[in-house]
C-alpha cells in the first residue's frame, strides 16, 4: 500500500472510530445504563413509599434518604452494582428490593446480603430465574413432598443429586462434580460465591447370596452419592428474585 493510500485509510479509520465512540456512548452505554437505573430506582421507590402516602411525606422520605450520609452511600453502592449488572431487568430490581430492606432497617448490609448483591449483579436474567426455580423446587420437595432425596435439617438442605453403584473392590470416582456442567452456569457461579457446596459420600453394605435375584455369591457393595448442599438462610434472597421477575417474560433476556 502506497503512502497516500495508507494516509487516507488511517484518516477514514480514525473518523469511523471517533464517530463510533460517540454513537456507542449515546446508543449503547447511556441507553442500557438508563434502563437498568430506571428498573432499580422504580423498584426501590415502590418498596420504600406506600402508594397512599401524601406528596409531602414522599418528599420527606426522599430527602431523609439522600441527605443521610450512610443511606446515600448504600444507595450509591447499589447503583454502582446496577450499572455493571449483567442482568437487564431482574438483577437491578432485586438490588432495589434488597437495598430498600437494608435502609428501612437503618443498618449496613450483612455479609450474606453482600454476597447476594453479587449474585444479582453477576447473573443474567435467565440465570436468576433458574436460581429461583431451583431453590423453590428443592425446598418444596423437602418441606411439602417429603422427597427421600431432599433432607432439610436445621438450616441445611442436603440433596442426594446422583449416585454411582459398584462392587466394593471396583474403582470409583470420588472427585466432586462440576455444578456448571451438571446443572447450569448459574450453579457454577453460586458455587464460586460459596452459596452452593457439594459433597461426595460413600455407603458400603454387605449382601448375601440370592438365587431368585440372580446373586450367585455373597459380597460387598458400594454406592458413591453426590450431594448438593443449600442453606435455608438463602431462600429469602431467591424470593426477591421472584418479586423482581416481570409479569411478561419478553422483558427479560441475557
Whether residues 108 and 19 fall in one domain: yes
pLDDT for res 202: 84
pLDDT for res 129: 98
- The number of beta carbons lying within 10 Å of the beta carbon of residue 175 is 8
Mean pLDDT computed over every residue of the chain: 84
pLDDT of residue 130 exceeding 90: yes
Q: Which residue has the higher pLDDT, 190 or 11?
A: 190
Residue 224 counted as domain residue: yes
Q: Point out the domain boundary residue: 122, 144, 178.
A: 122
Whether residues 176 and 107 fall in one domain: no
Q: Which cell numbers hold the place of 239?
A: 424470593
Residue 19 counted as domain residue: yes
For residue 252, the surrounding DSSP H or E stretch is: none
Domain with 199 in it: 131-236
Share of the chain above pLDDT 70, in %: 77
Q: Which residue has the higher pLDDT, 92 or 204?
A: 92
Q: Which residue carries 428501612 as its cell? A: 104
Residue 148 counted as domain residue: yes
Answer yes or no: are the C-beta atoms of 132 and 242 closer than 8 Å: yes
pLDDT for res 250: 42
- The region of weakest confidence among 26-30, 79-83, 146-150, 213-217 is 213-217
> Distance between CA 206 and CA 237 in Å, rounded?
44
Answer yes or no: are the C-beta atoms of 197 and 229 closer than 8 Å: yes
pLDDT digits (tens, 9 = 90+) for 25-48: 666 667 778 889 999 999 999 998
Residue 147 counted as domain residue: yes
pLDDT for res 58: 78
Provide the domain count of the chain: 2
Whether residues 152 and 107 fall in one domain: no
Whether residues 85 and 170 fall in one domain: no
pLDDT for res 238: 98
Tell me the C-alpha to C-alpha distance, in Å, between residue 152 and each of 120, 132, 133, 143, 199. 26, 18, 18, 8, 16
Whether residues 117 and 138 fall in one domain: no
Q: Which residue has the higher pLDDT, 52 or 80?
A: 80
Residue 40 counted as domain residue: yes
Whether residues 74 and 136 fall in one domain: no
Whether residues 72 and 105 fall in one domain: yes
pLDDT digits (tens, 9 = 90+) for 133-189: 999 999 999 999 999 999 999 999 999 998 887 665 556 666 778 899 989 999 999
pLDDT for res 251: 45
Whether residues 27 and 116 fall in one domain: yes
Whether residues 96 and 115 fall in one domain: yes
Residue 254 counted as domain residue: no
Amino acid at each position: 500500500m502506497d503512502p497516500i493510500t495508507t494516509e487516507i485509510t488511517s484518516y477514514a479509520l480514525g473518523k469511523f472510530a471517533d464517530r463510533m465512540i460517540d454513537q456507542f456512548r449515546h446508543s449503547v452505554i447511556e441507553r442500557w445504563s438508563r434502563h437498568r437505573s430506571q428498573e432499580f430506582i422504580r423498584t426501590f421507590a415502590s418498596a420504600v413509599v406506600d402508594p397512599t402516602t401524601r406528596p409531602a411525606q414522599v418528599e420527606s422520605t426522599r430527602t431523609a434518604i439522600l441527605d443521610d450520609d450512610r443511606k446515600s452511600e448504600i444507595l450509591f453502592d447499589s447503583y454502582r452494582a446496577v450499572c455493571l449488572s449483567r442482568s437487564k431487568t431482574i438483577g437491578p430490581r432485586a438490588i432495589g428490593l434488597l437495598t430498600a430492606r437494608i435502609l428501612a432497617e437503618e443498618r449496613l448490609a450483612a455479609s450474606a446480603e453482600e454476597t447476594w448483591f453479587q449474585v444479582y449483579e453477576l447473573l443474567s436474567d435467565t440465570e436468576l430465574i433458574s436460581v429461583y426455580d431451583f431453590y423453590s423446587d428443592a425446598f418444596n420437595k423437602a418441606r411439602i413432598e417429603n422427597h427421600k432425596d431432599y433432607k432439610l435439617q436445621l438450616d441445611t438442605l442436603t440433596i442426594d443429586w446422583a449416585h454411582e453403584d459398584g462392587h466394593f473392590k471396583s474403582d470409583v470416582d470420588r472427585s466432586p462434580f462440576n455444578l456448571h456442567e451438571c446443572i447450569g452456569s448459574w450453579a457454577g457461579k453460586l458455587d464460586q460465591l460459596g452459596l452452593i457446596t457439594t459433597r461426595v459420600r460413600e455407603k458400603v453394605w454387605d449382601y448375601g447370596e440370592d438365587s431368585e435375584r440372580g446373586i450367585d455369591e455373597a459380597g460387598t457393595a458400594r454406592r458413591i452419592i453426590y450431594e448438593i448442599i443449600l442453606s435455608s438462610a438463602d431462600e429469602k434472597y431467591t424470593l426477591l428474585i421472584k418479586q423482581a421477575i416481570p409479569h411478561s417474560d419478553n422483558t427479560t433476556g441475557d
